[in-house]
Structure 1
C-alpha cells in the first residue's frame, strides 16, 4: 500500500501507515509545520503562519519538542517547535490531486479531536511515544496533537508596548494551530465543523483559556478538561518587570533585559528558568510563566481576568466536560522528600504570611486532617498507607 500524500495549504506532505491497538490501520503525519520557526526577530513574539514549500515534505517522524529540560527524560528540544501531528483512519482519496478531493460538506468526514499536552507550561510535547494515537484511532475519529512554546520562550511578557511582547505567545501558538486545522483538516477526512479540544493538567487549563478567549472563537465546537481549569492560581504568570529581581536583573530597564534575553542562547534561558524555580519555595508552583491579562488590542488573547469572563458569561458557549482522576498526586509524590515541614502543606495561593498565626493554624489543620499526628522531622511517607494519603493530599492540592 502506497504511503499517503496529502496537500495542505503550504504544500504536499507524505505520511505513513501505522497500526492501532485493535490491529486496524491508520495514516499518520508527524511534524507538520503550522507556524514559522519562532527564532531571531520572532523569538517571544506572536506566531506567524508557516511558509509554503515545494515538492513533497516528509512527515513520517516527530518534530522537535519546544526547548526544555524534561523532568523525567532530560531531553532538550528546539526553538523550531511549531508543528503538529495528524492521525486519521484515511482512505485512498489522499492520493488524488487537490482539485478532485471531495469537500467538507460530505457526510463521511470524521469528528476531530485536538490534544493539548500538559507539563506545567515548561515541559512536554506532542511526541507520539507519549501522546500516541493507537487507542483513540481505534475509534472513528481524526486526532491532532499539537506542540507549543514552553517556559520563557512561550510566556515572556513585557509591559513596554514598544517591545511588542504582551505575553501569551504559547496560547497564540495554540490558536494558530487551530486555524491551521480549520483550513486543512478536511484533507485528512476530518470535519472542520466538529472539532473537540481536550487536554490534561495544564493542557486542560489551556483548553479552558481557549474557551474564554475571543481570539479562538469559532475554531472549535466542544471541550474536555481533564484535571485542571483556568482559575487555578498557579496558571497565571508574571511580567518581565515583575521577574527582574529574581532574574538578577534588578538594576536593568525592561528593554535592557529584553535585549539580553532576545540575543541569549536558548541554553541560557533554561539556566534563568532554573534559577527562577529555585527561588520559589514550593517547587510545584512554577508561577513565573503563565497566562497574562493583556492590554486591549486586536491581537490580545485575553484582556479580562478568567474569573470575570466566567461570571459575565461572555465566552465561547460550547458543550464542555470537566473532570478529574483518582490518585493524580502520584507524580508529585516523586518529589515528596522535599515536603518535610507542616508549613509546606499550606496552599500557597491563599497568600498567608509564613510564620503568621493564621499560617501556623492552617498548617496544623491540613496536616492533621490528612496525616493525623505525623512527625515530619523523620523521613516521610515510608509505608504504603502513608504514601497513599500523601497521594490523596496532592491530588486535592494540585488538581
Structure 2
C-alpha cells in the first residue's frame, strides 16, 4: 500500500480507502488506484492483518455437532444454514462452519478448533450442555446464540418446544387406534449409544432435543394407557444408520403397527425397509416423522413441520444484533425466541392392521 501510494502521489490512507471506504474517494481516483494495484498483482489488504487491526473478522461461526459433510447432506441442516445465509445477506458477512462431529477429535481438541476460528460470534447448533466445544465457545468471550440445545445455558436462544411439537403426531397414531407403537430417535447421548433405551436410561439422556421429543410422545401414549413402547436410538444420522435402526426395531418387535420417529430421516429409513419387505404403508404400518423436509413431504410422510430455515434466520439476526451491540452474553435477561410448529397429516397414518 505504501509503495502504491508513493507511485501514485497519494497517501497510504487514500489507497486503503479505495478498498475499505470507497465512498470517501471520487470514482476516478479509486479506479486509478485499483488499476495500478491490478498491474502490480496486488489484490488488496490482507484480510487476516486487517482483522487483527480492526478486531473485526467479518464472519460468524456455526458450531455443528456433525461431520462437515452432514451440513450439505441433511436437509434440515441445509435449510437451517440457508436461513443463516439469508440473515447475513447484505451484511458483508461470511459463515464459518466448525464441525464438532462424532469422532472428529478428542474433547481436548475442542478449545483449539474453536480458538482458531476467525469469527465475530458463534451460533451453536444443537450440542449437549456439557459439550467441550460449547465451553470453548464461551471461553472466546464473543457473542453466542444457541439454537435448539442446550436450552438452559444462560445464553441467547432460538428453538422450538420439542415436547409439545411432537405430541400431535403421537395423538394422530392413538386416535387412529394404534396401541403397538415403537419410537426411533437419533442421538440421545453425547457419547455413542446405539440400540434400545430403557426409561431409566432415557431420563439420563443429555441431548435434550431428542429426549424431549421422545418424552413428549411417551406422555401422549401413557395418557392413552399405552405403556410398553420400545425406544431405539442411533448415534449417527445417515441413510445407513437409519435403515439399520428401522431393521432392528421391526425385527425385534414384529407386532408393531406404528412407528413414531423423531426425525424425517429416521422415518425415511422406515419407509425404505417397509418397501424392501413388502410392508404396506399405511395399510400394515403407520409412520410419522419430524422436521418437514421436502423429501419427506413429497413422499406423503405424516410429519411435524418445524421452520428450519426461519430458525437459522432468527439465530443469524439475533447474533448480528448482539455483535452490533458488542454483547458477548446477557446473563440477566438473555433473549429467547421459540418458533411455532405444525403437524402435517400426510398419507402414512391409517388404522392398525
- Under a length normalisation based on structure 1, what TM-score does the superposition of the two structures give? 0.29
TM-score calculated relative to the size of structure 2:
0.32
Greater fraction of residues in helix: 2
